[in-house]
Amino acid sequence: MKILSYNVNGIRAALNKGFASWLDSTAADVICIQEIKALEKQVDTAALEALGYHHFWFSAQKKGYSGVAIFSKIKPTNVTFGCGIEHMDFEGRIIRADFDKVSIMSLYLPSGTNIDRLEYKFKFMAEFQEYIDLLKKEFPNLIICGDYNICHHAIDIHDPVRNKNVSGFLPEERKWLDGFITSGFIDSFRYLNPEPHHYSWWSYRSNARNNNKGWRIDYALVSESLKDNINRAYILPEAKHSDHCPVGVELNF
């Protein structure tokens, strides 16, 4: 099962940049999308259907903002739109598709762009942890893909010293992510790839992407129960439809 995750920074813009033909070339079974910035009715879904994908959308109430989606060649047994926590669902940040052997979530965790949003980010993280702790009891084989807006370790950011007081690399954020992972998940990419200089997001400023001055903030976290099923995990920086790039994990069943 080949699973990708991609913050596209606007699905309509990504489609205009060749997203559909790129997706076809990946042969992904499931792709989790974040920051769709659109309603389903605003998107040319025929391009996805032509590739054989079922598509499920959960948009934010605010137009042109946030939103998540899952595209899958395998028809899910169930799709859950949101998580039932009103403030999270208002911003369209969680969607989950259940399959016979695994449940896959597309997550878009808030960024802490200012004091108010940073406070909201911590509120979201605390309540999300509680939500997942309960969900794992019902779905022990869980994969949470998405943009977490946090670098876990110094190896995951190009300049850990200068960014130590920047949201996305704050000690409190990193501590939360560490606790979340150790609560029963595996960082699939880092599990198989211990090398530095692998990132999934680059600022549009200062030619950051060409100089590979990036952050690894996109993850495919896999339940520990699926550890022996992890076959490959990777980042695809050559895909350039967004300021992020896709991350992927492949599982053998």
Residues designated catalytic: 147
What phi-psi label fits residue 149: left (phi over 0), alpha (psi between -120 and 50 degrees) or beta? Answer: left
Place of tokens 């699926």: 226
Find the DSSP H helices in the chain: 11-16, 19-26, 46-49, 86-90, 115-138, 171-182, 188-192
Structure tokens at 37: 């910035």
Place of tokens 């200089």: 197
Residue 217 vs residues 100, 179, 214: alpha-carbon distances, Å:
29, 16, 9
Kindly state the helix (H) or strand (E) to which residue 145 belongs, with its residue range. Answer: strand 142-147
Q: What does the alpha-carbon distance between residue 6 and residue 35 come to, in Å, rounded to a whole number? A: 9
